Amino acid sequence: MAENKKNEKDETPKMKVLDRRHWVDETEDSNSDDIPNKPIEERLPSFVEQLKKDAEDKDKRLREYISAYKGKNAENDEFRIRLQKENETRLDQFKAILFARLLPILDNLQRAAKSASQTKDLNSLQEGIDLVINQFSHELKENGVETITAVGEKFNPKSHEVFLLPDCYQSLITCNELLNQPHRQKI
């Protein structure tokens, strides 16, 4: 029997307990080599570790998406700025062309004014002014501006502007007189 008791003592399994509580001080002196000396984060169960890894991967993807978005946004801003500069350049070119066409007309008006002050011949002054008006009208037609005939036509609020309204119904209104010659830009 003494042998059985001795064999039973040898056959009993030896149990080792790992304390994974985070409040347990890891610096306690223990003789057991089985207690891990890893940080607390590394001793988490595998499910929590997997969740933590997934969260880190998603954070990484999110950072990549944000950087890609910022890159595209910066690219769009650069494109918008470049397009605005190109439009301003085109506008400046169109202005230069228009003013280059209008400057000869101004020169002719200045010559007519100078001529009127030097001579008292009204017929030549009238001819000079008519030539300048024809030149200016020609430039307007070249740039798509046309004259609207309004005298004698029924009032159209889309193309006419009323300055003085007689006392009658609006449906009976016709244009009797022009204050300024109307023009329309072809688009």
* Averaged pLDDT, 133-155: 78
Mark whether 55 and 117 lie in a shared domain: yes
* Averaged pLDDT, 162-171: 57
What pLDDT is attached to residue 63? 96
Cα 74 → chain centroid: 11
Of residues 22 and 136, the one with the higher pLDDT is 136
Mark whether 127 and 71 lie in a shared domain: yes
Of residues 82 and 167, the one with the higher pLDDT is 82
Q: Tell me, what amino acid is at 20? A: R
Residues 6 or more apart whose Cβ sits within 8 Å of residue 125: 112, 115, 116, 119
> 183: helix, coil or strand?
strand
Q: Is residue 23 part of a domain?
A: no
Mark whether 151 and 139 lie in a shared domain: no
User: For the chain, what is the domain count?
Assistant: 2
Mark whether 134 and 157 lie in a shared domain: no
Mark whether 114 and 171 lie in a shared domain: no
> For residue range 6-49, what is the model confidence (pLDDT) as tens digits?
555 566 667 777 777 766 655 554 444 444 555 655 555 788 88
Residues 6 or more apart whose Cβ sits within 8 Å of residue 185: 144, 145
Domain span at 46: 34-143
- Give the model's confidence band at 98: pLDDT under 50 very low, under 70 low, under 90 confident, else very high: confident
Of residues 68 and 126, the one with the higher pLDDT is 68
The one-character DSSP state at 13 is P
Mark whether 38 and 123 lie in a shared domain: yes
**C-beta separation of 154 from 176 below 8 A:** no
Both structure tokens of 21:
């509580």
Mark whether 129 and 109 lie in a shared domain: yes
